[in-house]
Structure 1
Amino acid sequence: MKFELFIALRYLAARRKHSFISVISLISILGVGLGVAALIVVLGVMSGFSTDLRDKILGVNAHMVVGVMGGAMRDYRENIEKLAQVPGVLGATPFIYTEVMLSSAGGVKGVVLRGIDPATAGEVLSLPRDMVQGALADLETPGPFSGIILGKELAERTGVTVGSAVNILSPSGRQSAAGFTPKVKTFVVRGIFRSGMFEYDTSMAYVNLAAAQDLLGFKHDLVTGVELRVDDVYAVAAIGQRVREALGGMPVYVRNWIDMNGNLFKALQLEKTAMFVILLMIVLVGSFSIITTLVMLVMEKTRDIAILMSMGATAENIRRVFMLQGVIIGGVGTTLGYALGLPVSWALGRYQFIKIPGDVYPMDYLPIRLEWLDVTVVGITAMVLCFLATLYPARQASRLRPAEALRHE
């Protein structure tokens, strides 16, 4: 063991009249440890919230939507065959989108109605996995009324269950001598889904394509567009360009999940950065405690430093002694922060014992996702701050002159 490290450890373990310095060292370690633990947990929550929200949005919605500018899409089956051949596209399904009024014995609610193809919707959407009652195939069940699938919260608010009848009022009615007459059609609830996103579960309903076309009065086999699922959700811009090329000269628009939700995820990233900066102040407080510890130690050990220098220790040796003390404090504090932050994050993610209101947030529990890059950056940042805190006290200690120091003893 080098004598600089030996002396640094002895000074940190000061006893008797110097025990106050050891207490300050302990406070410094705790300050750094709590700061690192808080950073790990909070960044894990922010990453988990962003990732969980992205997964839920990309489950209920497609990665990419292709539509025709100014109207509905004709010959969608032929277009789906073309799109399925585009490199990077894993699945394609047609859809119809409209807003309607749903009424039942339990109340009236405005909902987003989506017509889907039960045979191919599972290749793009997470709806088959989100079903809590019934299945997508039940939309094709024959009977006097077409089937409909409702969100769990929507079903509870309107007081319906599987087998209940609901009325859908469409804005696409017809003009008569008595004025405009909206179109009303009766559906039977064939299933209930729960996506985990309160906004979708309270306002989304699904029917098959034929029922949606009949409700909207489409005279031809038209759809609103085609939804796509891709293999790389971060390469949607490049895949979108290939999609346009595959459809030739058709006047289509291509929108991806980043375009539709970009502002939301940018806001989440900004919040994550802001929380990192704010909580870094806790580590900064710990590093200031390191400065206090080392400055007081230099004052207490003036005579020892003079003796060491008179015995041949150089200014560089003295500087290393005090720099090593700060680095040791920072290292122990950072390790303590990891030992506290990682288990807490694991417990939060594993047991989900912190619940949040689902009607306010898009999820009903506190999500945790530890990114190793975030965890590494936290540790490196804490160590850098602790190292910088050693520079001034170490420099002052190395500038002591043995004769001047001993003269005042």
Structure 2
Amino acid sequence: MIEFFIAFRHVVERKFQSIFSVLGVAIAVTVFIVSLTVSNGLEKNMINSLLTMSPHILIKNKHKTFFENYNQIADNVKKIKGVKAVIPQMNSQSILKFEGFAKGVLADGISPENVKHGLNLKIVEGNDNIAALDSILVGEQLAYEMRLKVGQEISLVSAENKEVKLIVKGIFKTGFLDYDSNLVIVPLRTMQILPEQGEVATEIGIKVDSPQKVETVLNQVRSAVDQKEYGIISWKTINQNLLKAVQFEKFVLIAILSLLLIIASFAVSVILNMIVREKIKDIGILKSIGYTNKNIRRIFTIEGLIIGVFGMIMASMLSPLVLIGLKILFKEYMKGGTYYLEELPLYISQIELFVIYVVTFIVVFVSTIFPAARAARLKPVEALKYE
């Protein structure tokens, strides 16, 4: 208790230097938390947008373009724990025509019930009811490019050169530009009629409860399906290059932010060294009345930790304020500047916050070792003679 009191007095006596040291730690931690929160939010938003239409697990026939027994496979997969939805699909590269406009699109045939309950589509205009065979849903960017409105009739030309007239029932937005500008959704039955292959599908998409832990369900799906006949792949494998790039960017970000903490710890170390220089006589007096090297070392270690802890407390108050300010600035000045963001996404887990504070505490503690050891090494006689 006495050691803490002495350490606290030392910190208070040097108000100017102590305040700047606390601010240095607080700013470093705040920048770390804010940057990681924004980075996590953008990453989560990107993955959610990507997985709106992309299945978490994809099953395709290895030997044929179409497979007939997709209902049997779907029924087997639905029994697996963790499976949220099983969505048979029929995809085809097609051409969309409307009033002189023509564009190549991916036509995705999905049953009406799976569109309503299996996909998490955000409908910005109209609705997602494609029960009628002449229904079609188009992406927001595609609708903008071709000047499409709900209720208008358009033509879809399939890969087999079959043309069908469809009515726009709704306009959706996933937030993933590639989908919103190049994808249309039509009833599965309509897509089955065009190639005249009967009730077939080109693939089966599976949605799971926890996309980040898809491996558990993936192994069960592989056990339930003949792997010689069908290829089974997860969304992580499909998008592995994108995920690796995101992970590398996050690694670089954390490495750079860690340098800020190290710089802040140097400031703490410098302040402690200055205090040791100024308090040489005091150290000599303390040693002469019985304080050991361990006691002296503990005093200066506590001083550094007081600065670090106050810096972390200040960071915990500053971080939410900075994040709120960023959200307001983004909403006011950047709305419409990026296609897929309506507001600034923010996310950080409690574990990440805990790790940041623990690492900060350790870095600050390490920065106190040299000054504290230097103070402890002083001999009482030499310290008392110091001018």
Compute the TM-score of the two structures, normalised by the length of structure 2.
0.92
d(CA) in 2 for partners of 1:318, 1:332: 22
**Mapping for residues 147-158 of structure 1, pairs under 5 Å:** 147-158=135-146
2:187 to 208, 211, 225: 208
Question: Given the alignment of the two structures, is residue 135 of structure 1 paired with residue 127 of structure 2, yes or no?
Answer: yes
- In structure 2, the partner of 1:385 is 363
**Mapping for residues 77-226 of structure 1, pairs under 5 Å:** 77-105=71-99, 107-127=101-121, 130-137=122-129, 139-141=130-132, 146-173=134-161, 183-215=162-194, 217-226=195-204
- In structure 1, the partner of 2:245 is 267
The amino acid of 1:102's aligned partner reads: L
- In structure 2, the partner of 1:178 is none
Q: CA deviation at 1:72?
A: 0.7
Q: CA deviation at 1:398?
A: 0.9
Distance 1:199-1:219 versus aligned 2 partners, 3 A rule: closer
Question: Given the alignment of the two structures, is residue 42 of structure 1 paired with residue 21 of structure 2, yes or no?
Answer: no
Q: CA deviation at 1:34?
A: 0.4
Q: Specify the SS of the correspondent of 2:156.
A: strand
Retained in 2: the 8 A contact 1:198–1:358?
no
Distance 1:253-1:48 versus aligned 2 partners, 3 A rule: same
Q: CA deviation at 1:346?
A: 5.2
Distance 1:240-1:298 versus aligned 2 partners, 3 A rule: closer
Residues 242-274 of structure 1: CA distance to partner in whole angstroms, max 9, x if unpaired?
323333476011122111122322322222222
Select between 399-408 and 341-350 the one with higher mean Cα deviation.
Answer: 341-350
d(CA) in 2 for partners of 1:6, 1:245: 65
1:76 to 70, 74, 91: 70
Gaps of 5+ in 2: none
d(CA) in 2 for partners of 1:133, 1:360: 20
Q: CA deviation at 1:10?
A: 1.2
Distance 1:250-1:402 versus aligned 2 partners, 3 A rule: closer
Retained in 2: the 8 A contact 1:92–1:123?
no
Residues 163-210 of structure 1: CA distance to partner in whole angstroms, max 9, x if unpaired?
21222233323xxxxxxxxx3332221211112222211111011122
d(CA) in 2 for partners of 1:106, 1:267: 40
The amino acid of 1:230's aligned partner reads: V
Q: CA deviation at 1:42?
A: 0.9
Retained in 1: the 8 A contact 2:327–2:343?
no
Distance 1:140-1:107 versus aligned 2 partners, 3 A rule: same
2:269 to 261, 279, 291: 291
User: What is the RMSD of the two structures over their aligned residues, measured on CA atoms?
Assistant: 2.3
d(CA) in 2 for partners of 1:408, 1:350: 57
d(CA) in 2 for partners of 1:122, 1:388: 56
- In structure 2, the partner of 1:396 is 374
Select between 392-401 and 348-357 the one with higher mean Cα deviation.
Answer: 348-357
The amino acid of 1:186's aligned partner reads: K
- In structure 2, the partner of 1:342 is 320
d(CA) in 1 for partners of 2:337, 2:96: 20
Q: Specify the SS of the correspondent of 1:353.
A: helix
Q: Specify the SS of the correspondent of 1:202.
A: helix
**Mapping for residues 258-337 of structure 1, pairs under 5 Å:** 258-337=236-315
Give % identity. Answer: 30
d(CA) in 2 for partners of 1:199, 1:401: 72
Distance 1:372-1:322 versus aligned 2 partners, 3 A rule: same
Residues 84-116 of structure 1: CA distance to partner in whole angstroms, max 9, x if unpaired?
223332321211112222121263222111011
Q: Specify the SS of the correspondent of 2:39.
A: helix
Retained in 1: the 8 A contact 2:74–2:86?
yes
Select between 163-172 and 366-375 the one with higher mean Cα deviation.
Answer: 163-172
Distance 1:171-1:357 versus aligned 2 partners, 3 A rule: farther
d(CA) in 2 for partners of 1:354, 1:43: 22
Retained in 2: the 8 A contact 1:84–1:92?
yes
Retained in 2: the 8 A contact 1:290–1:390?
yes
- In structure 2, the partner of 1:17 is none
Compute the TM-score of the two structures, normalised by the length of structure 1.
0.87
Equivalent pairs, count? 386
Q: CA deviation at 1:22?
A: 3.0
Q: CA deviation at 1:362?
A: 4.4
The amino acid of 2:12's aligned partner reads: A
- In structure 2, the partner of 1:58 is 51
d(CA) in 1 for partners of 2:51, 2:362: 39
The amino acid of 1:50's aligned partner reads: E
d(CA) in 2 for partners of 1:302, 1:29: 24
d(CA) in 2 for partners of 1:325, 1:51: 40
Q: Specify the SS of the correspondent of 1:166.
A: strand
